[in-house]
A and B are shown apart, each in its own frame.
Chain A
């Protein structure tokens, strides 16, 4: 299967997929997002079943304004994926036919898959990685900290 890749500006997102549909890429394989720090990358992969071709299209959105037109009018299957990306990464899909949260009960609070979102349950739970056998008998080294929790959120109590 041949694979193509392209990165498009946000303004070209919808028309790119409209063009791909008319070129026979009628099957939506996946639509997901990656938090790149300053930017949220949304990527979707479509397949042309006849020519066994695969095209991956990606767009970079500013993290403080991640909005994108929906492609659910072209691919009904995009609806669920966009709802998931919306609630997990905070991307707003303009024109989405059914913008309710898909997996969470509410869209309140920080989007859980953004790297800046503090995983609050991890603050309360003791981290199994805190023990440091490497430094046993050698004096303490830098304290190991659990990922996903800002250091200042952690108490100095025993963990």
Chain B
């Protein structure tokens, strides 16, 4: 675990395989992952491969309790702590932050 303060949870969208592990392990059910399947043909491969493509990743920070379980369980290091604390909102719905906002909080490229 990094020494970073527990501010928010940032997403590395390119590393996320939409595997749903974090969604299922999150104790407060506050993560949403939407994805669709695509066929990719690789040179030399006999058949096209089916991959999940991430459409939307959202965390409801009105429910999140900052336990860090999602970060720990992600097999692809697609989630990380970020020191930002500017995710407050005047409305309940505004606490749901999705892909673009979550990935903007990343500390490293």
Contact = CB atoms under 8 A, between A and B. Distances in A.
A52 interface: no
B37 A136 contact: yes
Contacts of A134: 19-20, 52
Contacts of B19: 133-134
Contacts of A137: 37, 39, 50
Interface residues of B, number: 17
A122 B29 CA distance: 9
B85 to A, nearest CB: 25
A32 to B, nearest CB: 16
Interface in A91-136: 122, 125, 127-129, 131-134, 136
Main secondary structure of the interface of A (DSSP, over half): loop
Interface in B37-63: 37, 39, 50, 52
Interface of A: 122, 125, 127-129, 131-134, 136-138, 144, 146-147
Interface of B: 18-20, 23-24, 26, 29, 31-37, 39, 50, 52
21 contacts: A122-B29, A125-B29, A127-B29, A128-B31, A128-B33, A129-B23, A129-B24, A131-B20, A131-B33, A133-B18, A133-B19, A133-B37, A133-B52, A134-B19, A134-B52, A136-B36, A136-B37, A136-B50, A137-B39, A137-B50, A144-B24
